[in-house]
Structure 1
Amino acid sequence: MTARRAAAFRKTREAHVTEVAEDYVELIADLAAEFGEARLTDIAVNMAVTQATASKIVARLKREGLVDNRPYRSIFLTDAGRAMADEARRRHQIVFEFLRALGIDEATAEADSEGMEHHVSDQTLDALVALTGRLAGQG
């Protein structure tokens, strides 16, 4: 039991490490799609953080090879950042659709899926997809 518990806690800590990066690259992708660019001020407003906090996180994303930017210019995703954003969006959509299939209202499903997407395994996501399909078939 102890080894399983330790593994579960380790998985949760690892999810927390990537959670912020995934949220930011997903937002940067959304801003770029909507406005053609992602500006630091828009990132800070949408993430409800100060510009200083957003700047620190963007600097971390740049070190990790997920974004590229130049001083006083917009922020763009690298190929790795786009791949991370696409995967985060896919995971989010699976959880959101599952919650909606359960009858959860749209606003609650959106809010809940925002955190859950980072903490479920691929095996659980596959099960959610299958169960969502069955629930939708009962409609």
Structure 2
Amino acid sequence: MNAKHQSIEIESALVAADAQMESFRQARNNRRSELVEDYVELIADLLADGGEARQVDIAQRLGVAQPTVAKMLKRLIAEGYIQQRPYRGVFLTDAGKELALVSRERHQIVESFLCSIGVSVETARMDAEGIEHHVSPETLEAMKRFTLKKASWRTHVG
């Protein structure tokens, strides 16, 4: 079977240099905060589920080595999100609790939005884990409005 090669015109997607620079800066900042948010959210979940968050449990859940977790825990202590007590595990500070709440809410909004546009629950949960860190407040608010509007449509129609 001979495949015909067609010439495809690709329109330039270049935007103003300042706007592009700001987009890349924002993406870099999001990547930096992504790990912090994931750790804090996981620690909150472990504390809520079993009353403790141990380094070994964090490593197991994230699929990383304990030294990797130890390094991140030092960073979280330095940034004021956690306290680590010898033989007692890891605990969230008030700032850590606040970050965990905000991260959880953002995750739930993205996951609900994905489900509302037809993505399966399993896929939405996995995709939301990556997307949640890269969504602007404006986009997040639009996702929330869309999801609430769609839910009200179902209530009035169904």
Verify the 8 A CA contact 1:102 1:135 in the aligned structure 2.
Answer: no
Q: Output the TM-score relative to the length of structure 1.
A: 0.97
Instruction: Map Cα deviations across residues 81-135 of structure 1 (whole Å, 9 max, x no partner).
Output: 0000000001000000000101110110000000111111111111001111222
More displaced, 129-138 or 103-112?
129-138
Instruction: Report what 1:35 is aligned to.
Output: 50
**Structure 1 residue identity aligned to 2:17:** T
Identity, % of aligned positions: 47
- Separation in 2, partners of 1:71, 1:52: 16
- Separation in 1, partners of 2:137, 2:73: 27
Instruction: Establish whether residue 17 from structure 1 lines up as the match of residue 32 from structure 2.
Output: yes
- Separation in 2, partners of 1:121, 1:46: 27
Equivalenced residue count is 139
- Separation in 2, partners of 1:137, 1:77: 36
Q: Alpha-carbon deviation of 1:71?
A: 3.0
Instruction: Establish whether residue 109 from structure 1 lines up as the match of residue 124 from structure 2.
Output: yes
Instruction: Report what 1:74 is aligned to.
Output: 89
Query: Which of 135, 138, 150 is the equivalent residue of 1:123?
Result: 138
Instruction: Report what 1:132 is aligned to.
Output: 147
- Separation in 1, partners of 2:149, 2:66: 44
- The structure with more helix, counted as a fraction of residues: 1
Instruction: Report what 1:49 is aligned to.
Output: 64
Question: Gaps (5+ residues) in structure 1?
Answer: none
Q: Output the TM-score relative to the length of structure 2.
A: 0.85
CA RMSD of aligned residues (A): 0.9
**Displaced runs of 4+ in structure 1, greater than 6 A?**
none
Instruction: Report what 2:8 is aligned to.
Output: none
Question: Gaps (5+ residues) in structure 2?
Answer: 1-15
Instruction: Map Cα deviations across residues 4-48 of structure 1 (whole Å, 9 max, x no partner).
Output: 000000000001111100000000000000000100000000011
Structure with the greater alpha carbon radius of gyration: 2
